[in-house]
Every structure is written in structure tokens, then in C-alpha cells.
Amino acid sequence: MSIPYLSIISATPLVAAIIIMLLPRERVTWPRWVALAGAAFSLILSITVVAAYKLAAGGYQFLETHSLLPSLGIQYALGADGMALAMVLLTGIIIFAGVLASWDVKERPQEFFALLLILVSGVFYVFAARDLFLFFLGYELAVLPMYLLIGIWGTGKREYAAMKLTLYLMLGSALMLVGILAMYFAGGAQSFHLDHLRHVQYSRGFQITFFPILFLGFGTLAGFWPFHTWSPDGHASAPTAVSMLHAGVLMKLGAFGIIRIGVEMLPIGAQVWVPYLALFTLVNIVYGSLVAMAQTDLKYVIAYSSVSHMGIVLLGICTLNPIALNGAVMQMFSHGIMTGLFFALVGMVYGRTHTRVIPDMGGLASRMPFLSMAFVVGGLVSLGLPGFSGFVAELLVFLGAFRVYPLLSAVAVTGILFTAIYVLRVVQKMFFGPDKPAFDHVGDANWVEKSCLAILMLVLLGVGIYPSWLVNLINSSIGPLTQMLEVVR
């Protein structure tokens, strides 16, 4: 009897959430310790499964299957391949850092951490699910706590943002559900299991009809232009850890879904549609970075930069080229960590300066050297500096994309330049320049914050310098996928 790693990883946050809700209310510091313990446990197990994954064998490992609703063919089926494991690891890292970043939540910490952990549990289930129903269930579990988290602990126009974000994501999940049910019924309505559905020979017309529906459904979550506007408002209003999780992990859910369900299940539809969709991803990249340039609210800058970076992920997917697909998943990982770092930093800077308006800041580098350094690191990853993970990811995407859409990729490269411009402008305006008397009394990060940031930075650096360990993992699932695409073609 092998250890059901994936079940434990996914259920741990849920269990921790329940424990947190059972804690005595007057113990306000207990919830965060329980949350940290849960997150750490998940993280350690995530690292363990990544290490335990047999690269040579490839395919799905750590399989678990139990019947849930036999009459509808719903199973509790978990299993992970290289790509899923990369995402599980990403989630583990982000929630751990996220708990650290929200160490000082004062308002209803019990509910906050519980909801946060429930959300993460849903995310884990999505990444590990081998059953479409479970996948969808996990997805909804991940999206719904978001509403409360933003609505209650958010800032600014939080009700508006929470409503917008939730409705938007519900729209996405409605489209997704249509696609999922169509696949289920076209597959004979026997099973939601992905292995079953993968062997259904969907007709060409079916694939062409439902691929765009699935793509849009998932794409909405991934910030696909023009369905991205929930992201700036949502991220700007969300509390730190939620922004981290949302931009860091939830947006990746969308991209993951496109690959796992869209491309893998409906390869013909994908091949027909991607040339058109690729054009939109170009808009994502260039437009996102140009819009980010004009923002004055720090969180909006980062939110739009996410739109731009997710454009690179989507571009990589839309090539259906093995190199670019590897790059896309790498970018999912890299951007997840990077944007987690960014939002954590924004939260910490905001907690000190009480402003997010970039022109109001300045000269912070001498007041908070560590935070500034971390921000510069984040910025450098964002603009694709070699030595950090973002470069590897973007390089792979562009290398692959160039083979499929040379002109389009050449234009997309300009996005990197614009990214450099806005990142450096932000860094300059926030951290450089003469000291401002308004910030005379702000201090640098404390040890909790430092450890949160340090973890994220080390991951970025580690992947950037020696990307092979991660790329090999991802490649073990992209390789077979693209072989299958070749056969279908």
C-alpha cells in the first residue's frame, strides 16, 4: 500500500482549516501557527513528491482511485505527471509564503486563514485531479472563498472588485462546465475520468466547436485578453496573501486547464483554433505591458504585468510546439513565484507607507534596503533577466514560438522592452531619489517577512541558474503531449 501523497497534500489545508475554526476565539495567534504548519506540511510533501517522481517512467504517478458516484461515473481519482507536479510545488511554495506574508492579519484571523487554506485545498485538487468532476469541484472550491476573502479583508472598492472577480470567474467556469459536460456526454456519459475521456474519439466538428469554449472558460481565469479586466480590480482590492495566491496560482489554473483539458482532450480543435488565439495572446503581451506603463497604483502595475506575462504563457500554449509548451509551463511556475513575490512586497510596502500610489513614494531604498532589493529582484525576473527563472521561461517560449509564428514572436519580444521600461520606472520612482521626510520612520522587513521573500527569491534564482530539474519534470509530460499532437496532425 503506497502512501496517498496527493490526497494528503490536498486535504492537509482543508484539515488545517477545520482545526483553525475549532480553535478558541480568544487565541488570536494560534490560527496563523496552525496555518503555517499545514502549509509547511503540504510544501514538504510537495517537494517529496517532486523528488519521488520517477522521471524515466514518466506519465501519471501517485495514482489513487475511489468511486464516488458510480451511477454518474464520478470518481475520486488523483494522479500527477510532471507538469501537474510543477504546479503542485508552485502552490505549496506560494501558500507557505502567503501565510508568512499575512502573518499580521488582525481582523478575524481565524476565518481568514481558514478560507485561505480552503482555497488552496481546491487548487491542489485541481492540479492533482484525474477526474473532470473532481477537477471542476476543486476549481469551484478555489474560486468561491476568493469572494469572501476580497469582500471582507480587501481594501478600496472591495465589494465591487469581489463581485466583479467572482462573477467573471463564474462566467469562465460556466463555459468550462459546458465544455466538460459536452465531453462527458459525447464520451458516452460513462465516466468523468480523464483517461476514459482521452480515448474517446471526438469528432472534428465537436472539437472545433468546444475547444474555443473551453479555451475561453479557462482563458478568462488566465487573464486572456479581452477577458482580463477582473484582474486589475481584483488584485488591487485583495489582501496580500489573496493577491499572491490569485495571481500566483489561480491564474495558472486557467492555463493548466487549457493544456490539460483543452489541448490534451481536443487536439484537433486546438490545432484549428490556435493560430487565431495566438493573435490575442500577442495583444495580451504588448497591450498588457503598455497599459501597465500608464498605471500609477502599484498593484495595478503588477496586475497588468501579470496580464502581459500570462500572455506569454498563452502564446506558448498557442504554438503547440514542445519547446514553447515547456516554456509556457515554466513561465507559469516562474510567474507564479515572481508575482507572489511582488504582491507580498506590495503588501509589505503598503503596510509601511500606507500608500500604493507610485508618485507619492520615493527614496525608500535607504529606508528599507531589504525590501528594495527584493523588489528589484522581482522586477528583474519580470523583465526576463538571465539568471532568474523568468528568462528561461521566456526564452523557451520565444524559441518555440518563433518556429511557428516568426513574425508574431518578433513583435511579442517588444513586450519585454516595455516591461523593462515600466519595471524600471516603478523601481526608480519608489525606491530611488532623495529621501522623503514622510517616510522617516518606516523600517525594513522583519524576520517573518524576510523569510517569506527569501524563499521566493531563492526559488527564482535556483530555477534560473539551473533550470534543468524543473524543465525535465515539465518536459516529461509535454513530450508525450506533443507527440500525440503530431499523430493527430
Partner 1 sequence: MLEHAWIIPALPIAAAALVGLLGRRINRFAGWITSAAIAGSLLLALRLMWDVLAHPGVKEITLPWLQTAGGLMIQMGMLIDPLSSVMLVIVTFVSLMVQVYSLGYMAEDEGIGRYFAFLSLFTFSMLGLVLSNNLIFLYMFWELVGLSSYLLIGFWYKKPEAANAAKKAFVVTRFGDMGFLIGILVVGYFLNTFNILALGDAVKAGKLAGGLATAVALLLFCGAMGKSGQFPLHIWLPDAMEGPTPVSALIHAATMVAAGVFMVARLFPLFAASETAMLTVSYIGGFTAIFAATIACVQDDIKRILAYSTLSQLGYMVMALGCGGYTAGMFHLTTHAAFKALLFLAAGSVIHAVHTNDIWKMGGLCRSMGITTAVMLIASLALAGVFPFAGFFSKDEVLVSTFLAGRMDLLFVGLLTALLTSFYIFRMFFVVFAGKPATDKHAHEASWVMTIPMLLLSILAAGLGAATAPFGHFLQASFGAPAMETEYHGRLIPALATLMAVLGFAWAYLVYLQKAVSASLLMRRFLPIYTLLKNKYYIDEMYQWAVQRIMFVVSRALAWFDRNIVDGAVNGVAWLCRLTGDGLSRLQQGRLQTYLIMFVAGVVIIIMVVLASNPTVLAWMK
Task: Using the Cα atoms of residue 279, residue 335, residue 469 and residue 255 in order, give the sign of their dihedral.
Answer: negative
Task: Compute the distance between CA of residue 339 and CA of residue 480 in angstroms, rounded to an integer.
Answer: 30
The one among 392, 456, 463, 473 contacting partner 1 by CB under 8 A? 392
Planar angle of CA 50, 56, 60, nearest 5 degrees: 60
Residue 406 C-beta: closest distance to partner 1, Å:
7
Surface-to-core class of residue 200, CB atoms within 10 Å of its CB (0-12 exposed, 13-18 middle, 19+ buried): middle
Nearest residue to 331 via CA among 403, 234, 256: 256
Q: Which of 102, 305, 321, 334 binds partner 1 (CB under 8 A)?
A: 321
Backbone angles phi, psi at 68, to 5 degrees: -105, -55
The least CB distance from residue 332 to partner 1, in Å, is 15
CB of 432 to partner 1, least distance (A): 4
Q: Which residue has the cell 504546479?
A: 87
Instruction: Tell me how far apart the alpha carbons of residues 380 and 474 are, in angstroms, rounded to a whole number.
Output: 24
Residue 294 interacts with partner 1 (CB under 8 A): yes or no: yes
Listed ranges 64-72, 202-210, 251-259, 380-388: which one lies at the site for partner 1 (CB under 8 A):
380-388
Q: In angstroms, what CA-CA distances link 86 with 47, 138, 335, 336?
A: 10, 18, 13, 11
Closest separation in Å from C-beta 471 to partner 1: 6
Binding mask 111-150 for partner 1 (x = CB under 8 A): ----------------------------------------
Is residue 452 left, alpha or beta, with left meaning phi > 0 and alpha meaning psi from -120 to 50? alpha
Bond before 267 cis per omega within 30 degrees? no
| Given 48, 155, 209, 229, the residue binding partner 1 (CB under 8 A) | 229
Of the pair 116, 471, the CB lying nearest partner 1 is at 471
CB-facing half-sphere around the CA of 233: CA atoms within 13 A: 18
Examine residue 484 and tell whether it contacts partner 1 (CB under 8 A): no
Q: Which of the ranges 8-16, 36-44, 399-407, 448-456 carries the binding residues for partner 1, by CB under 8 A? A: 399-407
d(CA 130, CA 436): 54
Secondary structure (H, E, C), 242-265? HHHHHHHHHHHHHHHHHHHHHHHH
Task: Closer to partner 1 by CB, 258 or 323: give it.
Answer: 323
411-470: contacts with partner 1 (CB under 8 A)? 413-414, 416-417, 420-421, 424-425, 428, 431-435, 466-468
- Classified as helix, coil or strand, 189 is coil
299 near partner 1, rule: CB under 8 A = no
Using CB under 8 A, pick the residue from 152, 395, 438, 484 that binds partner 1: 395
Residue 196 vs 260, nearer CB to partner 1:
260
In the complex, the smallest distance separating the C-beta of residue 323 from partner 1, rounded to whole angstroms, is: 4
| Residue with smaller CB distance to partner 1, 208 or 290 | 290
- DSSP string of 33-66? HHHHHHHHHHHHHHHHHHHHS-TTT-S-EEEEEE
Query: Could you say whether residue 243 binds partner 1 (CB under 8 A)?
Result: no
- Residue 420 CB, nearest distance to partner 1 (Å)? 5
Q: Which stretch of DSSP H or E encloses residue 68?
A: strand 61-69
Footprint of partner 1 on this chain (CB under 8 A)? 164, 167-168, 225-226, 228-230, 233, 287, 290-291, 293-295, 321-323, 326, 363, 365-366, 380, 383, 385-387, 391-392, 395-396, 398-400, 402-403, 406, 409-410, 413-414, 416-417, 420-421, 424-425, 428, 431-435, 466-468, 471-472, 475, 478-479, 482-483
